[in-house]
Amino acid sequence: MTKGSPFCQMVSAYRKISVFSKEVAVPKVPPREIVEVHMIPDPKRGALEIRLWWQDQRVHSAAYPMTEFRRVHFSTFPNTARAKSQASCFA
């Protein structure tokens, strides 16, 4: 999986999740399952890639223009303290 601290979301009955008010389709995951959401910024392309993991497999990946999201500061340093305390959504 990707490094960093993911956050978790429950898949809706319509097989979607919401990330910063942006609906993202999750076609391969049953409703009401928990997925890990990894956000990877790509400043060169001006895009934010959202990767969704379920049962230790990447089930969806999509890139969106950063302009579609409110301003968020992404650190280049991993948050190791949080990563240790929240290793996975499923632990």
Q: What is the pLDDT of residues 50-60, one digit of tens each?
A: 999 999 999 99
Q: What share of the chain is helix, strand, coil (3-state, %, to 5)?
A: 10, 40, 50
- % of the chain surpassing 70 pLDDT: 70
Q: Give pTM, 2 decimals.
A: 0.70
In a domain? residue 75:
yes
In a domain? residue 21:
yes
In a domain? residue 77:
yes
Q: Residue 28: its pLDDT value, please?
A: 87
β-partners of residue 35 are 9
- % of the chain surpassing 90 pLDDT: 31
CA angle (50 as vertex; 62, 11 as ends), nearest 5: 95
User: Domain limits at 77?
Assistant: 7-85
